[in-house]
Amino acid sequence: MTLSPIFQGPSRLSRSLYMITTLFFFSFLALVTSLATEPQIPLGEPLPAAQESLQSQDDVLEEVKLGNGIATDKGSKSWQTPAQTLRDLFDALNVMQDSYFCLWLGTWPTSIDWTAAVLATHVGATLSSFTSTYGLDIANAKQPHEVSFGALENTVNYFFSHLNTFYFGENAFSLRNQAYDDMLWVVLDWLENIKFQNLHSDLHYSNSNDSFGSAWHGTQFSESAAHRARIFYELASMGWDKTLCGGGMVWNPSLEPYKNAITNELYISASIAMYLYFPGDPIDVPFMATAQSPLPHDPNHLVAAVDGYSWLKNSHMTGLYGLYADGFHIRGWRSESDPGTRKCDQLNKMVYSYNQGVILSGLRGLWLATSSHEYLQDGHELIHRVLRATGWPKTWSNTWAGLGRGGILEDSCDSHASCSQDGQTFKGIFFHHLTEFCRPLRIQEERFLAGQIKRPLAGEEEWEEVYSTHLKRCRAYGPWIEHNARAALITRDDDGKFGMWWGLPFLSVLQADEIVNSSTIPAGAEDYRNGDLGTSPASLTAGVPRDFNDRGRGRTVETQSGGVAVLRALFQWQTSDALS
């Protein structure tokens, strides 16, 4: 693997400045390497400790009365230290950027418009994970370490510069004419960027209000990021339609009406994120869609999120095991003048992992904004359904469970190697939003809450107790996340690139041929997202150890982003006092 530009000394820098910069970065690398004292264990049969944690989680699922009970975990020894997870996470991100990002183009050339927005979201979120854990000795009971802040800052600035160039490399003009879900990925991308800017500045530049303007320099990009988020949010909001189905977002204005899960979930999550994190937008070009300059905490954004989730929840857009199906057609629709039944009455029951994830960050945001614990309750119920649909806690099972087997999250296209570029992005999206759902509060959110009037909800627990209960329930997902991270890590090739099918490593090579075609889609479902790209195992070289993740599209920037997302989830669970 070639070295990233961060390892190369620009000729115009003085030797001393170059040496200082380089030493800063390598001190950060030395930290995470030196702390990683436990070797990575090859993935095979579940370890005794893993078996113990699986039983513990089995008990948890039995104890949890969905929507009412508290998820408690009995604890178990992790198979990997937080230090090694940090090392793996950094490597995964570095490979994604070093191997796939082109600085002079300002984008990932092999991505497509919407997956590029998702990739940028992963980068921003991972930088938030890095900066929020600085100052913690992740090997020794979370005591402060002595690594130079310059090492962190050099690393953060290196990857943040990629996001800055992506602002100009993003295909923003074309995206304005694409489907509404494509636009909403852009909104979440730039709001994630703003969230990182605020977090890094809050944590490490505390005197941001003094006369010298000592906020982190990266916050100067906040207006640009906010402007793009605002433009695309207002464009996408045009997809909200009450003439059919009584509400809901239309997927694509150029096609027959299709009210699908992902567009509606994105609209909900983007709306509440605009309410919570949008800082306002003073820029009036290329156009100002509203009469007055958009301001933070616009109640219209909150109303949109509340109404959007109310419609989605009451639409019954669920199929297999209570998971979100792909979406609704309108029976008999031919044109606007001949709209058929006008009802969402033809459900495509296809199940995708990302349709179970995006709504989770929206539910957390709705709870923050309203203090209504029902949103958290709905999120936990959905997560439990996902875990069961992966076969958890039966890690020994090869039987397809709906969204995986043996406790490993899979989309049905994974084992077939038929995943499209879209499909290769799905699992990473799920883990990103699961991580957001269970993320502890940040300084910016605490400031927001301090300005709200928090009263105990009638007949319910105090706000703080609801929050504590939420985190306890989140803690119980740790063993499952670790199980998936472990599986994903073993798919890496010699260049550190992650594969698509995480479930294979838990199975013997001899069994693999038998299960490739065992993953099925629900009866009557139609897979719009993936094609017949698969390569049958028999066509690979017989008698030679085979890499099933080289079939189909193989390893791509999208599969790499999945590795980044699941490792970031594991890192959050390992380093947060509330989750570990």
* 348-391 tens-digit pLDDT: 999 999 999 999 999 999 999 999 999 999 999 999 999 999 99
Straight-line distance from the first to the last Cα atom of the chain, in angstroms, rounded to the nearest whole number: 34
**Which secondary structure element, helix H or strand E, spans residue 431, and what is its range?**
helix 426-437
CATH code of the region 172-206+218-349: 1.50.10.20
Q: What is the DSSP letter of 330?
A: E
Q: What is the pLDDT of residue 289?
A: 53
Average pLDDT, the chain: 84
pLDDT bracket for residue 49 (50, 70, 90): very low
- Do residues 262 and 354 touch, judged by C-beta distance below 8 A? yes
Alpha-carbon distance of 370 to 367, in angstroms, equals 5
Using a 10 angstrom Cβ sphere, with 0-12 exposed, 13-18 middle and 19 or more buried, the burial of residue 23 is middle
Average pLDDT of span 259-263 = 98
- Tell me the three state secondary structure of residue 318: strand
Q: What is the pLDDT of residue 137?
A: 63
Phi–psi pair at 565, nearest 5 degrees: -65, -45
CA 340 to chain centre: 37
| Bridge partners, 260 (sequence order) | 327
Please tell me which residue, 522 or 493, carries the higher pLDDT value: 493
pLDDT bracket for residue 547 (50, 70, 90): confident
The tokens for 184 are 């909403």
> Highest mean pLDDT range out of 44-48, 279-283, 302-306, 515-519?
302-306
Sketch the domain layout of the chain as residue ranges. Answer: 1-170+369-439+456-580, 172-206+218-349
CA 203 to chain centre: 23
* 394-420 tens-digit pLDDT: 998 989 999 999 999 999 999 989 999
| Unique residue bearing structure tokens 């975990």 | 73
The tokens for 417 are 């190697």
Please tell me which residue, 77 or 345, carries the higher pLDDT value: 345
- In the predicted model, is pLDDT for residue 525 greater than 70? yes
pLDDT bracket for residue 521 (50, 70, 90): confident
* 139-173 tens-digit pLDDT: 554 444 455 788 889 999 999 999 999 999 999 99
The tokens for 204 are 């490490």
Alpha-carbon distance of 146 to 41, in angstroms, equals 29
- Do residues 19 and 117 touch, judged by C-beta distance below 8 A? no
Average pLDDT of span 433-444 = 97
